[in-house]
Amino acid sequence: MTETNKPAEQHSENSSEHQDPAQSIVDFGSAMTRTSHGNVYCLTIIGQIEGHSTAANGAKTTKYEHVLPLLAKLEESDEVDGVLFLLNTVGGDVEAGLAIAELIAGMTKPTVSIVLGGSHSIGVPLAVAAKRSFAVPSAAMTIHPVRMSGTVIAAPQTYHYFQRLQERIVAFVSGHSAISAARFEELMLKKADMAADVGSVLYGEEAVREGIIDAVGGLSDGLGCLYRQIEQRKGTPASR
């Protein structure tokens, strides 16, 4: 799912679950692990979330046009029992990131996210979209208002659009975590935390105290939680 993906390689994505595991990691930044608890698909979301515009050369990216169909495939695959998301993102395209987050949130299969390095801006909705979220103590979550680059039309409609987009993000985060919309917006507009900007930077335990992340934990905690979800799901009839 990183910048190594090429359009010509997309045909191999259809057989990514059956190809050499090491090659799958190289090509797609993902891996399937078969355990006694069930089959876990590990997907990394790193670097910049690339949307409708191509990121700068040399930038590590997660391409949403690859992630969206893959998530749909994982939801329907009989070979996948749960999905583990490893996050270390600097943000990126807001619409693309929110689209990925909405798809993750709509999955019926067990899902767990772990914030490792950072979850900047649109990375926050990605972190809370899973059924259970973890953050390592050193993880950093940066919360700030919506920004846009390039030509901006200086008209009231533009500012209204910014506000509506920001409201969508606030509503998503508060709807999929324990933080209130008012508190999240307060953190988003905080003035004293960032040297040349408005917003907040929260580290692992702070994000948990604020109710954004469910618990502080690393890989073993995330996998343990995912295995419990898988066992609970297998113990009840599937309904769709």
Q: Determine the pLDDT at residue 28.
A: 59
Look at residue 238 and tell me if it is in a domain.
no
Does the active-site annotation cover 119? no
pLDDT value, residue 12: 43
Catalytic residue among 16, 24, 121, 133: 121
In a domain, 162, yes or no: yes
What's the CATH code of the domain at 81?
A: 3.90.226.10
High-pLDDT (> 90) share of the chain, %: 51
Is residue 155 included in any domain, yes or no?
A: yes
Chain centre to alpha carbon of residue 194: 23
Q: Residue 150 pLDDT > 80, yes or no?
A: no
Of residues 71 and 16, more confidently modeled: 71
Most confident range (mean pLDDT) of 33-37, 220-224, 234-238 is 220-224
Residue 13 pLDDT: 45
Question: What is the rounded average pLDDT for all residues in the chain?
Answer: 83
The one catalytic residue among 37, 120, 144, 176: 144
Q: State residue 86's pLDDT score.
A: 95
Amino acid 162: pLDDT: 77
Residue 1 lies in a domain: no
Q: What is the 3-state secondary structure (H, E, C) of 154-179?
A: CCHHHHHHHHHHHHHHHHHHHHCCCC
Q: Which residues contact 190 (CB under 8 A, 6 or more apart)?
A: 198, 199, 200
pLDDT greater than 70 at residue 164? yes
DSSP H or E run through 227: helix 219-234
Region 185-200: what's the mean pLDDT? 84
Q: How many domains does the chain have?
A: 1
Structure-model confidence comparison of residues 194 and 40, the more confident one: 40
192 located within any domain: yes
144 catalytic? Reply is yes
pLDDT at site 158: 74
In this prediction, residue 11 carries a pLDDT of 45
Distance (Å, whole) CA 54 – CA 223: 33
> Which residue range(s) make up the domain with 212?
7-232
What H or E segment, with its residue span, contains residue 67?
A: helix 64-76
**Stated pTM of the model:** 0.82
| 8 A C-beta contact, residue 52 and residue 8 | no
Locate 193 and state its tokens. 């935390």
pLDDT digits (tens, 9 = 90+) for 66-123: 889 999 999 999 999 999 999 998 888 888 889 999 999 999 999 999 999 888 889 9
